[in-house]
Structure 1
Amino acid sequence: MTQIDRDTDALVGDWLTIREAARALGVSPNRIKQLIRDHKLLGATRSGELSIPAAFISGGDVVKGLPGTLTVLADCGFSTDEALRWLFTADDTLPGAPIEAITANRGTEVRRRAQAMAL
Protein backbone atom coordinates (compact mmCIF):
# COMPACT_ATOMS: atom_id res chain seq x y z
CA MET A 1 0.00 0.00 0.00
CA THR A 2 0.96 3.59 -0.48
CA GLN A 3 2.55 5.77 2.20
CA ILE A 4 0.94 9.20 1.90
CA ASP A 5 2.55 12.53 2.65
CA ARG A 6 1.65 14.79 5.56
CA ASP A 7 -0.21 17.34 3.41
CA THR A 8 -2.56 14.68 2.04
CA ASP A 9 -2.96 13.18 5.49
CA ALA A 10 -4.02 16.56 6.87
CA LEU A 11 -6.28 17.27 3.87
CA VAL A 12 -8.21 14.03 4.39
CA GLY A 13 -8.60 14.60 8.14
CA ASP A 14 -10.34 11.64 9.79
CA TRP A 15 -9.11 8.14 9.04
CA LEU A 16 -10.21 4.63 9.96
CA THR A 17 -7.90 1.69 10.45
CA ILE A 18 -8.74 -1.45 8.50
CA ARG A 19 -10.29 -2.95 11.63
CA GLU A 20 -12.39 0.17 12.28
CA ALA A 21 -13.53 0.26 8.65
CA ALA A 22 -14.40 -3.43 8.77
CA ARG A 23 -16.45 -2.90 11.91
CA ALA A 24 -18.23 0.11 10.34
CA LEU A 25 -19.15 -1.95 7.26
CA GLY A 26 -19.86 -5.18 9.11
CA VAL A 27 -17.25 -7.13 7.13
CA SER A 28 -13.86 -8.71 7.78
CA PRO A 29 -10.59 -6.78 7.56
CA ASN A 30 -9.68 -9.03 4.61
CA ARG A 31 -12.80 -7.81 2.78
CA ILE A 32 -11.65 -4.21 3.27
CA LYS A 33 -8.30 -5.09 1.72
CA GLN A 34 -10.14 -6.68 -1.23
CA LEU A 35 -12.26 -3.54 -1.66
CA ILE A 36 -9.03 -1.53 -1.81
CA ARG A 37 -7.55 -3.90 -4.43
CA ASP A 38 -10.78 -3.63 -6.44
CA HIS A 39 -10.68 0.22 -6.34
CA LYS A 40 -13.89 0.37 -4.31
CA LEU A 41 -11.96 2.04 -1.46
CA LEU A 42 -8.57 3.74 -1.24
CA GLY A 43 -6.14 2.69 1.42
CA ALA A 44 -2.94 4.37 2.50
CA THR A 45 -0.32 3.67 5.11
CA ARG A 46 -0.31 6.13 7.99
CA SER A 47 2.08 5.65 10.86
CA GLY A 48 2.79 2.13 9.64
CA GLU A 49 -0.88 1.09 9.54
CA LEU A 50 -3.18 0.71 6.54
CA SER A 51 -6.10 3.14 6.84
CA ILE A 52 -8.95 4.56 4.76
CA PRO A 53 -10.58 8.00 4.91
CA ALA A 54 -13.55 8.01 7.28
CA ALA A 55 -15.51 10.06 4.71
CA PHE A 56 -15.65 6.97 2.46
CA ILE A 57 -18.10 5.21 4.80
CA SER A 58 -21.54 6.49 5.72
CA GLY A 59 -24.51 4.72 7.27
CA GLY A 60 -22.76 1.37 7.39
CA ASP A 61 -21.89 1.31 3.68
CA VAL A 62 -19.35 2.65 1.22
CA VAL A 63 -20.54 6.08 0.03
CA LYS A 64 -22.69 5.61 -3.08
CA GLY A 65 -20.83 6.63 -6.21
CA LEU A 66 -17.37 6.40 -4.66
CA PRO A 67 -16.33 3.06 -6.22
CA GLY A 68 -17.11 4.29 -9.74
CA THR A 69 -15.18 7.49 -9.14
CA LEU A 70 -12.18 5.58 -7.78
CA THR A 71 -12.20 3.33 -10.85
CA VAL A 72 -12.20 6.37 -13.16
CA LEU A 73 -9.33 7.94 -11.23
CA ALA A 74 -7.33 4.68 -11.36
CA ASP A 75 -8.02 4.40 -15.11
CA CYS A 76 -6.74 7.98 -15.49
CA GLY A 77 -3.47 6.92 -13.88
CA PHE A 78 -3.91 8.69 -10.55
CA SER A 79 -1.77 7.37 -7.73
CA THR A 80 -3.43 6.84 -4.35
CA ASP A 81 -1.96 10.11 -3.07
CA GLU A 82 -3.11 12.04 -6.17
CA ALA A 83 -6.60 10.56 -5.99
CA LEU A 84 -6.92 11.45 -2.30
CA ARG A 85 -5.71 14.99 -2.93
CA TRP A 86 -8.18 15.43 -5.78
CA LEU A 87 -11.11 13.98 -3.82
CA PHE A 88 -10.50 16.14 -0.74
CA THR A 89 -9.43 19.44 -2.36
CA ALA A 90 -12.16 22.08 -2.52
CA ASP A 91 -13.42 22.95 -5.99
CA ASP A 92 -15.41 26.20 -6.17
CA THR A 93 -17.28 24.98 -9.25
CA LEU A 94 -18.83 21.99 -7.47
CA PRO A 95 -18.95 23.68 -4.75
CA GLY A 96 -16.91 21.89 -2.11
CA ALA A 97 -14.56 18.97 -2.45
CA PRO A 98 -15.42 16.10 -4.82
CA ILE A 99 -15.92 13.73 -1.86
CA GLU A 100 -18.54 16.13 -0.49
CA ALA A 101 -20.33 16.16 -3.85
CA ILE A 102 -20.26 12.36 -4.00
CA THR A 103 -21.66 12.16 -0.47
CA ALA A 104 -24.42 14.60 -1.54
CA ASN A 105 -25.37 12.19 -4.38
CA ARG A 106 -23.74 14.30 -7.13
CA GLY A 107 -21.27 11.61 -8.15
CA THR A 108 -22.12 11.77 -11.85
CA GLU A 109 -20.72 15.30 -12.12
CA VAL A 110 -17.62 14.31 -10.15
CA ARG A 111 -16.98 11.32 -12.44
CA ARG A 112 -17.50 13.52 -15.50
CA ARG A 113 -14.80 15.87 -14.23
CA ALA A 114 -12.47 12.97 -13.45
CA GLN A 115 -12.93 11.56 -16.94
CA ALA A 116 -12.27 14.99 -18.50
CA MET A 117 -8.89 15.09 -16.74
CA ALA A 118 -7.86 11.96 -18.64
CA LEU A 119 -8.41 13.59 -22.04
Structure 2
Amino acid sequence: MTRNDRDTDALVGEWLPIGAAAKKLNVSPNRIKQFIREHKLLGVQRGGELAIPAAFVVNGNILKGLPGTLTLLSDCGLTTDEALRWLFTSDDSLPGSPIEALTEDRGTEVRRRAQALV
Protein backbone atom coordinates (compact mmCIF):
# COMPACT_ATOMS: atom_id res chain seq x y z
CA MET A 1 0.00 0.00 0.00
CA THR A 2 1.41 3.39 -0.98
CA ARG A 3 1.52 6.48 1.18
CA ASN A 4 -1.25 8.03 -0.95
CA ASP A 5 -3.39 4.95 -0.29
CA ARG A 6 -2.79 5.27 3.45
CA ASP A 7 -3.61 8.99 3.35
CA THR A 8 -6.80 8.30 1.40
CA ASP A 9 -7.75 5.48 3.78
CA ALA A 10 -7.28 7.82 6.75
CA LEU A 11 -9.69 10.32 5.17
CA VAL A 12 -12.28 7.81 3.95
CA GLY A 13 -12.40 5.59 7.01
CA GLU A 14 -14.62 2.58 6.32
CA TRP A 15 -14.57 0.74 3.00
CA LEU A 16 -17.18 -1.68 1.65
CA PRO A 17 -15.98 -4.51 -0.58
CA ILE A 18 -18.21 -4.65 -3.65
CA GLY A 19 -19.99 -7.77 -2.36
CA ALA A 20 -21.01 -5.95 0.84
CA ALA A 21 -21.90 -2.80 -1.13
CA ALA A 22 -24.04 -4.87 -3.48
CA LYS A 23 -25.95 -6.34 -0.51
CA LYS A 24 -26.51 -2.90 1.02
CA LEU A 25 -27.77 -1.53 -2.31
CA ASN A 26 -29.70 -4.73 -3.11
CA VAL A 27 -27.98 -5.12 -6.49
CA SER A 28 -25.44 -7.53 -7.96
CA PRO A 29 -21.69 -6.98 -7.65
CA ASN A 30 -21.63 -6.52 -11.44
CA ARG A 31 -24.08 -3.63 -11.04
CA ILE A 32 -21.68 -2.00 -8.55
CA LYS A 33 -18.92 -2.29 -11.14
CA GLN A 34 -21.25 -0.67 -13.68
CA PHE A 35 -22.01 2.17 -11.23
CA ILE A 36 -18.25 2.71 -10.92
CA ARG A 37 -17.81 2.80 -14.73
CA GLU A 38 -20.71 5.28 -14.97
CA HIS A 39 -19.21 7.56 -12.27
CA LYS A 40 -22.14 6.92 -9.92
CA LEU A 41 -19.65 5.44 -7.43
CA LEU A 42 -15.87 5.43 -7.01
CA GLY A 43 -14.08 2.19 -6.38
CA VAL A 44 -10.48 1.33 -5.58
CA GLN A 45 -8.52 -1.81 -4.77
CA ARG A 46 -8.27 -2.34 -1.02
CA GLY A 47 -7.04 -5.55 0.54
CA GLY A 48 -6.90 -7.25 -2.86
CA GLU A 49 -10.50 -6.49 -3.80
CA LEU A 50 -12.52 -3.63 -5.23
CA ALA A 51 -14.15 -1.49 -2.54
CA ILE A 52 -16.15 1.73 -2.23
CA PRO A 53 -16.32 4.16 0.69
CA ALA A 54 -19.08 3.15 3.12
CA ALA A 55 -20.22 6.80 3.21
CA PHE A 56 -21.44 6.41 -0.39
CA VAL A 57 -24.32 4.15 0.74
CA VAL A 58 -27.08 5.63 2.89
CA ASN A 59 -30.25 3.76 3.85
CA GLY A 60 -29.86 1.25 1.05
CA ASN A 61 -29.30 3.89 -1.64
CA ILE A 62 -26.40 5.71 -3.27
CA LEU A 63 -25.89 8.99 -1.40
CA LYS A 64 -28.10 11.68 -2.92
CA GLY A 65 -26.10 14.07 -5.09
CA LEU A 66 -23.06 11.81 -5.28
CA PRO A 67 -23.38 10.66 -8.93
CA GLY A 68 -23.64 14.22 -10.27
CA THR A 69 -20.74 15.34 -8.11
CA LEU A 70 -18.58 12.42 -9.28
CA THR A 71 -19.36 13.26 -12.91
CA LEU A 72 -18.27 16.87 -12.32
CA LEU A 73 -15.06 15.76 -10.64
CA SER A 74 -14.32 13.41 -13.53
CA ASP A 75 -15.04 16.20 -16.04
CA CYS A 76 -12.57 18.40 -14.11
CA GLY A 77 -9.92 15.75 -14.77
CA LEU A 78 -9.53 14.45 -11.22
CA THR A 79 -8.29 10.90 -10.83
CA THR A 80 -10.17 8.50 -8.57
CA ASP A 81 -7.72 9.10 -5.70
CA GLU A 82 -7.85 12.88 -6.18
CA ALA A 83 -11.66 12.81 -6.20
CA LEU A 84 -11.75 10.70 -3.04
CA ARG A 85 -9.35 13.04 -1.26
CA TRP A 86 -11.37 16.07 -2.40
CA LEU A 87 -14.66 14.54 -1.22
CA PHE A 88 -13.34 13.58 2.21
CA THR A 89 -11.09 16.60 2.97
CA SER A 90 -12.52 19.34 5.15
CA ASP A 91 -13.35 22.59 3.35
CA ASP A 92 -13.79 25.62 5.61
CA SER A 93 -16.06 27.28 3.04
CA LEU A 94 -18.69 24.50 3.35
CA PRO A 95 -17.98 23.96 6.42
CA GLY A 96 -16.95 20.33 6.74
CA SER A 97 -16.01 17.97 3.96
CA PRO A 98 -17.92 17.72 0.69
CA ILE A 99 -19.07 14.19 1.64
CA GLU A 100 -20.50 15.55 4.91
CA ALA A 101 -22.28 18.30 2.99
CA LEU A 102 -23.79 15.74 0.60
CA THR A 103 -24.95 13.70 3.58
CA GLU A 104 -26.62 16.86 4.93
CA ASP A 105 -28.40 17.42 1.56
CA ARG A 106 -26.21 20.40 0.62
CA GLY A 107 -25.30 19.03 -2.80
CA THR A 108 -25.70 22.33 -4.63
CA GLU A 109 -22.93 23.89 -2.52
CA VAL A 110 -20.70 20.88 -3.17
CA ARG A 111 -21.25 20.96 -6.94
CA ARG A 112 -20.50 24.71 -7.04
CA ARG A 113 -17.12 24.03 -5.44
CA ALA A 114 -16.50 21.11 -7.79
CA GLN A 115 -17.25 23.32 -10.81
CA ALA A 116 -14.73 25.88 -9.50
CA LEU A 117 -11.98 23.24 -9.84
CA VAL A 118 -11.94 23.67 -13.61
Q: Same fold (TM over 0.5)?
A: yes
Cross-structure match for 1:112 = 112
SS of the equivalent of 1:50 reads strand
Higher relative contact order (CA 8 A, sep 6+): 1
Q: Which runs of 4+ in 1 moved over 2 A?
A: none
Q: Which runs of 5+ in 2 are unaligned?
A: none
RMSD (Å) for aligned C-alpha atoms: 0.8
Q: What's the TM-score once normalised by structure 2's chain length?
A: 0.95
SS of the equivalent of 1:117 reads coil
Q: What's the TM-score once normalised by structure 1's chain length?
A: 0.95
Q: Which runs of 5+ in 1 are unaligned?
A: none
Q: How many pairs are equivalent?
A: 115
Q: Deviations over 1:23-65 (max 9, x none)?
A: 0000000000000000000000012110000000001000000
Give the % identical residues.
Answer: 72
Structure 1 CA distance, aligned partners of 2:11 and 2:65?
21
Q: Give the Å deviation of 1:10.
A: 1.4
